[in-house]
Amino acid sequence: MLSSIIPFTPEIATEVSKYCTGVSEDQSAAQKEVWDWTCSQFQDAHKMSSPLQGATMKFLAEHQRAKRSNALAWYESTVATQAEIITLELDPKMIAASRRTFDKHGLNDRVTLIEGPAQESIEKLSGQFDIIFVDANKDGYEGYVKTALDNKLLSPTGFIMCDNVFARGMTISPDANPYLADGPRAYWTECGKALRKLNTFLKNDPRVDVVLLPVYDGVSLIKWKTTEYLKLVESIMASQVESIMASQVESRLRGREKEEKYANLLYISKGREVYKLTYMRVK
């Protein structure tokens, strides 16, 4: 199709949304509990990602086989389950809600909540993340993404997902959404200005590829360009080769029958070449 969006009326949009939800993966019991609880506790629960968007994020997180994720999320329904997760939160009410959910669903072994302004917190983070989910104050998005890229917090094969990049349509035009009520319109109009700036920044940043998907309230996906990916992989390898000599690795490999189940090995291929065995940690 030459245009990328099917125009639906509000009534039909609701029907299409329900149909998609019905034929996609079901929410887990825990997701449903958090969803219902959030709806009962927060007047602005309408800002929460839809169950279908939650299913989409769970799908992508599983597909990514993420080991580490940084969820800049206001709401807990979209948090993936198996990875190490670091979440940044400012609002005391949301901090309390998050801690209640982590306790109730036994997630404290894998989730770390860092309290305070996200920009300050993200600047202190280190290591690499497979998924970085940005769903926070819209005038902060550019800073969060820029810091994640500048400080190489995004893993070579990871992606950043920014939510609400349409700002209910206000990013595109003040006329884009006649159904938006006057109350939230002023808020989303301001968000739209910040998000136009973000989009220009992303489009012009030579380090990354970006697509703005016309789905949900606008979802931007960001990944390293191949040139940056290769630079990152080489730099990771170089630092690891220095710290572990090949001979050590070999001697351990020879005795690996007993030890291998504790070994953590990383091989990285670049085209047809395979780099050195660069990393091994035996407990």
Cβ-based neighbours of 229, under 8 Å, separated by 6 or more: 156, 157
Q: Which two tokens stand for residue 263?
A: 């070994």
Q: Is residue 43 involved in binding its own copies (CB under 8 A)? A: no
The Cα angle at residue 66 between residues 65 and 68, in degrees rounded to 5: 160
Query: Rule CB under 8 A: which of 198-217 touch its own copies?
Result: 199-200, 202-203, 209-217
Query: Interface with its own copies includes 24 (CB under 8 A)?
Result: yes
283 beta partners? none
Assign 3-class secondary structure to 39-105: HHHCCCHHHCCCHHHHHHHHHHHHHHCCCEEEEECCCHHHCCCCCEEEEEECCHHHHHHHHHHHHHC
The 224-253 site mask, x for binding its own copies (CB under 8 A), equals: --x-----------------------x--x
Site for its own copies in 145-174 (CB under 8 A): 157, 159, 166, 168-169, 171-173
Out of 25, 33, 123, 190, the only residue in the binding site for its own copies (CB under 8 A) is: 25
For residue 80, the minimal CB distance to its own copies (Å) is: 13
Instruction: Give yes or no for residue 176 binding its own copies (CB under 8 A).
Output: yes
Measured from the CB atom, is 85 or 165 closer to its own copies?
A: 165
Residue 153 or 208: which CB sits closer to its own copies?
A: 208
**Binding region for its own copies (CB under 8 A) out of 9-17, 101-109, 112-120, 140-148:** 9-17
3-state secondary structure of 5: coil
Provide the minimum distance between the beta carbon of 115 and its own copies in the complex, in angstroms, as a whole number. 26
Which 78-137 positions form the footprint of its own copies (CB under 8 A)? none
What is the spatial distance between Cα 223 and Cα 225, in angstroms, rounded to a whole number? 6
Distance of CA 162 to the CA centre of its chain: 7
Largest CA distance in the chain: 70
92, 178, 183, 206: which one contacts its own copies (CB under 8 A)? 178
Question: Of these, 32, 65, 93, 104, which contacts its own copies (CB under 8 A)?
Answer: 65
| Min dist. Cβ of residue 45 to its own copies (A) | 8
- Give the shortest CB-102-to-its own copies separation in angstroms: 22
Return the beta strands (E) in the chain as ranges.
Answer: 68-72, 84-89, 111-115, 129-134, 154-162, 208-213, 219-224, 269-270, 273-274
Residue 128: Cβ within 10 Å count: 20
